[in-house]
């Protein structure tokens, strides 16, 4: 990470509700052109982090997005930031055409032509009332609207919640093929990590308001290894202090942090863990060394 002007810069970011602190001092940066997955359990603080970044909530510490303080300069920032949240709803009483009229008027970077183009090939017609569209169609419409905004940062909070697998795949394909380029940055949260793994350039894990991983994907692949341990080498492998171990279908599987992959390959089959395997491993990290996992 050498870029001197990150798109997002957070340091010692804290947020509490009442007496309960939710974010415990996050430090992270996001560079332009990246596709970042922010992954965590329910209640870990993902939406709170995104809200801080979007200026929807005030917080302690420093956060700048495109050089602006999101809370103080939210209106100006929103010209360059687009957002889909799991709770966002489009005005249901409008027709699709009327929604585009409205956006044309209020958003300087909205292109009606592009939005119409993105709806091409879907079942959504310009005179359809939003309240009569299915959940999947509303998500498609939402994506079309957002992709028609020339934004530098796109924030997606569980954008495919409630959609079937076909819609979810189409959603991400469209996003990647029709929207992303080197100048655009995407920050996305989802519980369906397997479905976005292919497109991520960076991975952030948040657990109980702490960042437990913040790394480019290629470094994740260099740093972590999953080993299906040959029974003869079980004790040797344990000595290398796996961060996680489990028995699955009679096989001993371990995940290692920072252990030479070649050394591991003398003890069994080595692969790079999937994001979901890594997630399970790191979220339980506190107990792994105590041998409680097997
Ligand atoms: N406005 C609020 N007032 C009080 N507590 C809140 C508020 N918003 C969030 N919280 C609490 O903050 C914690 C983190 O919530 P957040 O929505 O950021 O989690 P999340 O990681 O997005 O979870 P999920 O995956 O379930 O959406 C939760 O314990 C939640 O109850």
ipTM of the complex as predicted = 0.96
- Ordered alpha helix ranges (H), the chain: 46-53, 74-77, 96-106, 112-119, 135-147, 165-178, 193-196, 217-223, 234-239, 261-265, 275-283, 285-288
* 44 ligand 1 Cβ < 6 A: yes
Q: Please state the domain extents for the chain.
A: 8-208, 221-288
Q: Are 120 and 154 in contact (CB under 8 A)?
A: no
Which atom of ligand 1 is closest in space to residue 41's alpha carbon?
25
Name 280's bridge partners: none
| Most informative mutation of 23, 37, 39, 47 for ligand 1 (most atoms within 8 A of CB) | 47
| Most informative mutation of 16, 24, 45 for ligand 1 (most atoms within 8 A of CB) | 45
Residues contacting residue 187 through CB under 8 Å, at least 6 positions apart: 8, 30, 36, 38, 50, 53, 153, 154, 155, 156
Give the pLDDT score at 265.
96
Give the pLDDT score at 139.
85
| Most informative mutation of 18, 19, 20, 44 for ligand 1 (most atoms within 8 A of CB) | 44
Give the pLDDT score at 2.
52
C-alpha R_g of the chain? 21
pLDDT tens-digit map of 183-237: 899 999 988 898 899 999 999 999 999 999 999 999 999 999 999 999 999 999 9
Q: Does domain 8-208 have CATH number 3.40.50.300?
A: yes
Instruction: Please name the residue whose Cα sits nearest to atom 29 of ligand 1.
Output: 43
Give the pLDDT score at 159.
86
Positions of the chain with pLDDT lower than 50, given as ranges: 1, 285, 287-294
**44, burial (CB in 10 Å: exposed 0-12, middle 13-18, buried 19+):** buried
* 45 ligand 1 Cβ < 6 A: yes
246/238 Cα distance (integer angstroms): 12
Instruction: Please name the residue whose Cα sits nearest to atom 24 of ligand 1.
Output: 42
Give the pLDDT score at 140.
86
């Amino acid at each position: 990470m050498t870029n001197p002007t990150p798109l997002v810069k957070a340091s010692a970011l804290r947020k509490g509700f009442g007496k309960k602190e939710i974010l415990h001092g996050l430090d992270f940066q996001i560079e332009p052109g990246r596709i970042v997955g922010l992954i965590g359990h329910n209640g870990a603080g993902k939406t709170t982090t995104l809200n801080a970044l979007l200026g929807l909530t005030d917080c302690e510490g420093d956060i700048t997005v495109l050089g602006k303080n999101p809370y103080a300069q939210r209106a100006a920032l929103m010209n360059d930031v687009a957002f889909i949240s799991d709770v966002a709803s489009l005005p249901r009483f409008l027709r699709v055409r009327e929604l585009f009229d409205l956006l044309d008027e209020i958003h300087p970077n909205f292109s009606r032509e592009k939005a119409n183009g993105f709806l091409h090939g879907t079942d959504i017609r310009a005179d359809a009332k939003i309240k009569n569209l299915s959940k999947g169609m509303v998500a498609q419409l939402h994506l079309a609207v957002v992709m028609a905004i020339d934004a530098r940062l796109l924030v997606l909070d569980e954008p495919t919640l409630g959609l079937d697998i076909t819609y979810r795949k189409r959603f991400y394909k469209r996003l990647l093929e029709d929207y992303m380029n080197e100048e655009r940055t995407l920050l996305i949260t989802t519980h369906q990590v397997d479905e976005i793994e292919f497109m991520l350039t960076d991975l952030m894990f948040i657990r109980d308001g702490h960042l437990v991983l913040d790394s480019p994907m290629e470094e994740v692949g260099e740093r972590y290894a999953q080993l299906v341990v040959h029974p003869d080498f079980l004790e040797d492998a344990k000595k290398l202090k796996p961060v996680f171990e489990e028995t699955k279908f009679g096989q001993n599987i371990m995940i290692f942090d920072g252990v030479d992959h070649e050394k591991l390959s003398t003890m069994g089959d080595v692969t790079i863990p999937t994001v979901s395997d890594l997630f399970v491993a790191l979220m339980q990290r506190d107990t792994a060394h105590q041998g409680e996992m097997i």
